[in-house]
Structure 1
């Protein structure tokens, strides 16, 4: 069974990575949405870019807010039920779904675009592709975090005869 120290260390590393990547995605998506709101979205798929960039903005805001809350809360009150398995599982699952939807839909939209050739009609093409990369990185880290939380949930649920509501298995 994993020890409290191992869980605390793994939690700190995973949520630190989630928080770092989400803040980067938040900055990039917020600047893109602000830029395109002022200058206009790319002309070929105006509504499509609007929805996709805003879903990634929502996903990064959601993940950043809950990442901060869960990281700080777990470090201060890790044994409290308020920072237990369910309070980690729900927001991280929602964040994963939001990032998956946003990343996959933006990938489908910009997959065939060459930023070198589309520089005149598509301002900030490279930044959009950068947002796409960081969004997929965040999606992968969130998936790893979900696997970690679900594994702890199975351990805590009684696989070893113990039922706990916090992330600590012992």
Structure 2
């Protein structure tokens, strides 16, 4: 089995997992944002803003990931399914999730101890955990795209070339 066939099968699975985790993050962060807006019971404004940033990350990921997935499946030779497009999208998304997960972790002190009776403690723990899970999956996907980019360069396709040989 070739590396291209692994990517052909793995790409949709990986992006589907990215979308699924982003939907979970969207639900949690939207719920927390709604509660914060309604009750103003956040621990600090930095916590509130970081939850809102993770909401943005979720929306970004949910809107753009299906676009890249569809492009990869329907027209693998298009510019949207190129190594460069995937690399840019994944790098930007990776930076967003790293920033959001690290910022929320810092705001919560690295680990939220629910025995101190924080408001929405379980939801904040889940939000932080799923943000880091999303970042790990995106790290894996970005590394694979970098490796596929090096294969495309050796094939002579360059960065504008398709992610897999067409």
Taking structure 1 as the reference length, the TM-score comes to: 0.88
Higher RCO, 1 or 2 (CA under 8 Å, sep at least 6)?
Answer: 1
- 2:139 is equivalent to residue 140 of structure 1: no
- 2:131 is equivalent to residue 163 of structure 1: no
CA contact (8 A) 2:71 2:81 kept: yes
Alignment of 1:70-89 (within 5 A): 70-89=68-87
Alignment of 1:5-154 (within 5 A): 5-43=5-43, 45=44, 47-110=45-108, 111-118=110-117, 122-154=118-150
Give the number of aligned pairs. 163
5+ long unaligned stretches in structure 1: none
d(CA) in 2 for partners of 1:42, 1:94: 28
Q: Encode CA deviations 1:43-75: one digit per residue, 9 max, x unaligned.
A: 4x2x11122111111111111111111112211
5+ long unaligned stretches in structure 2: none
RMSD, aligned CA:
1.8
d(CA) in 2 for partners of 1:113, 1:33: 18
| CA drift at 1:141 | 0.1
d(CA) in 1 for partners of 2:80, 2:112: 46
| CA drift at 1:3 | 5.0
SS in 1 for 2:113: coil
Taking structure 2 as the reference length, the TM-score comes to: 0.90
| CA drift at 1:4 | 4.1
Runs of 4+ aligned structure 1 residues displaced above 6 Å come to none
